[in-house]
Amino acid sequence: MLQIFSVIILGYLLGSIPTSLTLGKIHSRIDIRKHGSGNAGLTNVYRVLGIGPALVVAIADIFKGWLAAALIPLYFTDLLVTDIHLTGILAGSSAVLGHTFTLFAGFRGGKGVATLLGVIIALYPTVIPICLTVFVFTLITWGYVSVSSMTATAALTLGVWILPELGFEPSGPSLKIFTILIFLFIIFTHRSNIGRLRKGIENKFEKAVLFKSMKRKP
């Protein structure tokens, strides 16, 4: 029990590192949550600070998710039991929670998508190309990062369940359950986006849309 608690705490603390908030203060001496959409996530960093800082945040957020799921289990091998993913899932999911409800910034962080990507890279990288393809296709079709994130997470869940049946590496029961729970979690963290989508006021990256509908002029 002590080992399980240690894995969860270490994962949470690693995920809690406030990358976007720290970079916002270093780069422009601002609290990123007081600008743009008010979120401490990657998309808002891009809108407020530009692509350079956004790339830095993306790499850092992905890395801390990967680090939690890949490195922490190496020191807690007794918890592997019969499911090789279990310890990584505990550490990785804690990192996602830490990123979203960061201890070092009043429990107000990002939405966990980039950190989740790092976790999946560590646990089941086979599904990553599917998730990225779905994300990019959704983005260039509709231009909503929020919708792209949610559909990519849905693709993650389906991929982890279906790919083993097609002859790819086994995913294990804990990882399958984890993807269902994480999909519900991502929907929860995007609840404000869903509300704005329903009202037609969600922020949209028009420049990313390639498949624009052709409207006939009257």
Nearest CA to 74 among 13, 162, 3? 3
For CA atoms 61, 33, 96, 162, the dihedral sign is negative
Alpha helix segments (H runs only) across the chain: 2-15, 19-28, 42-49, 51-71, 86-100, 113-123, 128-142, 145-162, 173-189, 191-199
Using the structure block, give the residue that is written with the tokens 């807690």.
76
- pLDDT at position 90 is 93
- pLDDT at position 15 is 96
Tokens (6 digits) for 90: 């505990």
Tokens (6 digits) for 191: 């609840």
Rounded CA-CA distance 173/161 in Å is 9
24 touches 32 (CB < 8 A): yes
- pLDDT at position 201 is 93
- Per-residue pLDDT of the chain in tens (218 residues, 90 and over written 9): 778 889 999 999 999 999 999 999 999 999 999 998 888 888 899 989 999 999 999 999 999 999 999 999 888 866 555 566 888 999 999 999 999 999 998 898 999 999 999 999 999 999 999 999 999 999 999 999 999 999 999 999 999 999 999 999 988 899 999 999 999 999 999 999 999 999 999 988 888 888 765 444 44
- pLDDT at position 77 is 67
CB atoms within 10 A of CB 132: 13
Rounded CA-CA distance 14/35 in Å is 25
Q: Is the pTM of this model over 0.85?
A: yes
Amino acid at 9: I
